[in-house]
Amino acid sequence: MNKYEEDLNYFLREIEKRHIWFYFDKSKKDLNSFVNEYLSTHKLDSEYKLSYFIKCIIKYMLSIYDSHTFCFYNDVKSLLVELRFIKDDLYIINAFNEGLKYSKVLEINNFPVEKLISKIKKSLPYSTEAWLKARIESFFSDLNTINELSLTDSNKALFTVLKEGKKCKYELFLDKQLKFKDDDNYDIALLDNAIKIRYSKCAFPKVGNMLDFVKKLKRISKDNNITNFIIDIRGNTGGNNTVIYPLLDFLKNSNFNVITITDRNVFSSGRFALIDLINIGSKTIGEDIGTSLNCFGNIKTFKLPNTNLTITYSTKYFDYDPLNRKLIQYTTKDDMKSIKSFKPIFYKPDYYVCNSLEDYKNGDDKVIDEAVKVLNSYSHMM
């Protein structure tokens, strides 16, 4: 037995013990059959192959219900590109190499992106198409995942792109010295008769705290006589769901008009923030989010002993009560047995708006522009 097979067995033992209910959808017998069938035609002789197989196991067992349980590489190998699905095509919207900007991705390491996406679908548990797109955007800028999907082991990736009708090839190298700007979790911006609040992570700001942030917000609102608020939670993949409470207390004012912007990267505690904002009367605009409202979550982790891999696993299940618009948490398998249905419940924005390739090229944000229009229409009605 090699070290990869040892780590596979370790994973299977530990996930059964640690996950709140790993066999809630399929039995241990189903799992054993799946593992044995896979190993009869595949060799586990590399870390990349082990990682992919573990992901396939998680996808098989937890399907659309648990996107929190996953396998990650301990070392981050990010390439300096930012990708975005626009309609059904994948584009590079930001890159240090100007030649790559706003190009359509056709191949990576000479594999058509459609073939790589097919492999991701077999190994990624996702409840929404939005989360599938979000993860593809992330995976294709991660050298570990590119190596895993293309069965290579390299410090570079070859991108074939289409730009202005021309097909070009670019080699992207790992460079840990360069990185995109890392913005703070929060900021405040004055717009046309509105204040935009960016809340991109359920975590305390890098400087100060949420109470100080809200004090500043109150002062700006009062000084400018503004009662329209845009809460931009795009990219909020979670954290501590209680951090937002002081902001919610301020926004509860019945004289305020609030609209929340969402996108495919809203996930985990990000959806808690969304539900809380809806419950104080916020309208919503943007895209579908990366999770169903009811799902597993509250992750913990363990590392595999012989390889560079970490497993995240869910310790709770959150059911959604649509009547009272709140999440109910379950902490044990026995508690979960009382749940009548695990059918996913999905969020849909009141106004569906997303940015186009031209918007990215021009530095425009159509979603914010439309949010301002919606708020102004509500203001005129008052």
Residues 163 and 232 in one domain: no
pLDDT above 60: residue 180: no
Cα-based distances in Å from 106 to 130, 225, 237: 20, 50, 28
Percent of residues, the chain, with pLDDT higher than 70: 96
In a domain, 218, yes or no: yes
- State the pLDDT at residue 145: 97
Residues 139 and 283 in one domain: no
Average pLDDT over residues 76-93: 94
Residues 202 and 137 in one domain: no
What is the rounded CA–CA span in Å between residue 343 and residue 101?
Answer: 40
Residues 167 and 190 in one domain: no
Residues 273 and 146 in one domain: no
Beta-carbon count within 10 A of 80 CB? 17
Which CATH number covers residue 215?
3.90.226.10
pTM: 0.94
User: How confident is the prediction for the chain on average, in pLDDT?
Assistant: 94
Residues 191 and 220 in one domain: yes
Residues 136 and 224 in one domain: no
Average pLDDT over residues 229-258: 94
In a domain, 262, yes or no: yes
Residues 362 and 215 in one domain: yes
- State the pLDDT at residue 185: 75
What is the rounded CA–CA span in Å between residue 270 and residue 291?
Answer: 10
H-run or E-run covering 91: strand 89-95
Residues 153 and 231 in one domain: no
| Host domain of residue 199 | 186-290+350-381
- State the pLDDT at residue 253: 84
Pick the last residue of a domain from 173, 206, 239: 173
Residues 106 and 242 in one domain: no
pLDDT in tens, 276-308: 999 999 999 999 999 999 999 999 999 999 999
- State the pLDDT at residue 378: 77
- What b/e string do you get for 173-205 counting C-beta neighbours within 10 Å, with b at 16 or more? ebeeeeeeeeeebbeeeeeeebbbbbbbbbbeb
Lowest mean pLDDT among 21-35, 193-207, 210-224: 193-207
Average pLDDT over residues 236-240: 94
Lowest mean pLDDT among 117-121, 171-175, 183-187: 183-187
Residues 149 and 278 in one domain: no
- State the pLDDT at residue 206: 66
Q: What is the DSSP string of 180-248?
A: -----SEEEEEETTEEEEEE-SBS--SSS-HHHHHHHHHHHHHHHT--EEEEE-TT---B-TTTTHHHH
- State the pLDDT at residue 203: 87
Residue where the block lists tokens 């293309």: 150
